[in-house]
């Protein structure tokens, strides 16, 4: 049982706790602009986009620093910059808030990279899949709980105070990470000196890029579906049930993640992406909240497994000394996919309603899933064709 390991338990618990304020902070920024600063939704969207882009840009270079200098030396500047920025940002006008959020984003504590790298370090290839599945489930739970808590708190107290408290919770989470200093490499976990950082050219190739594209497509599909749920429920005249339908969708993802973690074999990320696209199609034919919830439950089952498989597959492609940067690129791809999916869904919904939104999301998953599987398969066959004659000639010699 993967939870029998104290190291895995501690990392998963830490990851679950720090991600709740992370997701709460995203929605609080928008609420603060609209409610407290009396800005427009456009301004709120620009702020969210700038903060998201800066966090995405920080992923690869912060991950590279983790590989070269370790956790404590990497996140100490993040803690200091975050403490200064978020002590000031809730009390200033829009433009200074935008600048401070951008700076804080560039020095963001790499929560997702640290947690995933620590989980990989604390596991073997045999129990890594269930551990990563639990990690993906914890992300789903935090994504469901964080925004709800943020909105509830903002309805009771000033967004200034709530934003300050939530962002300082993330600063304190960074301090806790610094104190705990979980091993990021299996050698450190075993008490041995860690190997030096691995050059990027050793792993940054077609297979890794294809994996990042697949992960980005999966998040694009999910972001597009999330926005399309809103459109569908408005079209049904049942906006009051939106939270319930989204919760059913999220529950499907939790179930799928747990089931995938219990499997004794991995499944290709690209196969799961194509399957996620296929099971998204029935949502386009929903005729009311109940049918949308049922089809959403089915579609949700493939959400967490697709992301889990991409991280597991990445850990097999990238040597241990390069995984910090690799996970940073992977996280940046996920962030980019989130923005692409929302924009794609908006265009599709304006053109053909919620059915077009779900259809566009499904087509993206199916097309890229099958296309990437074909591309990687052809490359693997060519590699084997080259290696086989070489192996035969060595035997003959």
- Domain residues for the domain of 110 are 1-187
The pLDDT value given to residue 351 = 86
Q: Which of residues 159, 187, 215 is at a domain's end?
A: 187
The pLDDT value given to residue 112 = 80
Q: Are residues 30 and 155 in the same domain?
A: yes
11 in Cβ contact with 118 (< 8 Å): yes
The pLDDT value given to residue 365 = 94
pTM assigned to the model: 0.77
The pLDDT value given to residue 192 = 56
The answer as to whether 379 is a domain residue is yes
**CATH number of 56's domain:** 1.20.1250.20
Q: Are residues 263 and 288 in the same domain?
A: yes
Question: What percent of the chain clears pLDDT 70, i.e. is strictly above it?
Answer: 92
28 in Cβ contact with 166 (< 8 Å): yes
Q: Are residues 41 and 116 in the same domain?
A: yes
Question: pLDDT category, 187, cuts 50, 70, 90?
Answer: low
pLDDT digits (tens, 9 = 90+) for 335-388: 888 778 877 888 888 888 889 999 999 999 999 999 998 988 887 777 666 665
Q: Are residues 146 and 257 in the same domain?
A: no
Q: Which of residues 124, 157, 187 is at a domain's end?
A: 187
The token duo for 310 is: 């991409």
Least trusted range by pLDDT, from 1-15, 79-93, 158-172, 253-267: 1-15
Q: Are residues 177 and 273 in the same domain?
A: no
Highest mean pLDDT among 129-138, 186-195, 295-304: 295-304
Q: Are residues 81 and 166 in the same domain?
A: yes
Split into its structural domains, the chain has a count of 2
CA atoms of 251 and 141, how far apart (whole Å)? 9
pLDDT digits (tens, 9 = 90+) for 310-340: 988 888 888 877 888 888 888 888 888 877 8
Q: Are residues 126 and 231 in the same domain?
A: no
pLDDT digits (tens, 9 = 90+) for 113-163: 888 888 888 887 777 888 888 888 887 777 777 777 887 888 788 889 988
Q: Are residues 223 and 134 in the same domain?
A: no
The answer as to whether 194 is a domain residue is no
User: How many Å is the maximal CA-CA distance in the chain?
Assistant: 79
The pLDDT value given to residue 254 = 86
The pLDDT value given to residue 388 = 59
Q: Are residues 358 and 254 in the same domain?
A: yes
- Backbone phi, psi, residue 302, to 5°: -95, 0
Model confidence at 273: pLDDT above 70 = yes
pLDDT digits (tens, 9 = 90+) for 160-186: 998 899 899 889 888 988 888 888 877
Q: Which of residues 163, 187, 211 is at a domain's end?
A: 187
Q: What share of the chain is helix, strand, coil (3-state, %, to 5)?
A: 85, 0, 15
CA atoms of 31 and 162, how far apart (whole Å)? 11
């Amino acid at each position: 049982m993967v939870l029998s390991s104290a190291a895995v338990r501690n990392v998963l618990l830490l990851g679950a706790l720090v991600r709740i304020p992370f997701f709460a902070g995203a929605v609080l920024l928008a609420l603060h602009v609209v409610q407290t600063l009396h800005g427009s939704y456009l301004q709120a969207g620009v702020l969210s986009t700038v903060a998201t882009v800066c966090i995405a840009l920080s992923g690869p270079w912060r991950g590279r620093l983790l590989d070269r200098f370790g956790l404590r030396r990497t996140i100490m500047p993040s803690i200091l910059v975050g403490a200064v920025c978020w002590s000031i940002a809730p009390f200033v006008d829009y433009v200074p808030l935008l600048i401070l959020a951008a700076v804080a984003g560039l020095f963001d504590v790499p929560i997702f990279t640290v947690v995933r790298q620590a989980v990989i370090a604390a596991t073997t290839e045999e129990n890594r899949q269930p551990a990563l599945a639990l990690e993906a489930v914890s992300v789903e739970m935090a994504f469901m709980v964080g925004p709800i808590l943020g909105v509830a708190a903002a309805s009771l107290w000033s967004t200034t105070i709530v934003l300050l408290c939530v962002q300082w919770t993330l600063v304190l989470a960074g301090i806790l990470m610094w104190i705990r200093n979980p091993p990021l490499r299996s050698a450190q976990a075993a008490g041995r000196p860690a190997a030096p950082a691995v050059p990027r050219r050793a792993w940054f190739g077609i297979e890794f890029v294809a994996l990042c594209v697949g992960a980005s497509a999966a998040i694009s599909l999910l972001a597009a579906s999330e926005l399309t749920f809103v459109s569908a429920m408005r079209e049904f005249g049942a906006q009051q049930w939106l939270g319930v339908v989204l919760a059913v969708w999220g529950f499907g993802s939790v179930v799928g993640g747990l089931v995938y973690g219990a499997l004794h074999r991995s499944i290709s990320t690209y196969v799961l992406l194509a399957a996620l696209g296929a099971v998204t199609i029935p949502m386009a034919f929903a005729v009311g909240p109940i049918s949308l919830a049922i089809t959403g439950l089915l579609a949700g089952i493939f959400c967490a497994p697709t992301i889990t498989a991409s991280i597991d597959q990445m850990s097999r492609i990238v040597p241990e000394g390069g995984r910090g940067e690799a996970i940073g690129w992977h996280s940046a791809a996920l962030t980019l996919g989130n923005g692409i999916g929302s924009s794609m869904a908006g265009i599709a919904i304006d053109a053909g309603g919620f059915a077009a939104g779900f259809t566009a999301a499904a087509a993206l998953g199916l097309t890229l899933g099958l296309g990437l599987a074909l591309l990687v398969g052809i490359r693997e066959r060519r590699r084997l064709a080259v290696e086989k004659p070489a192996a035969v000639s060595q035997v003959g010699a």
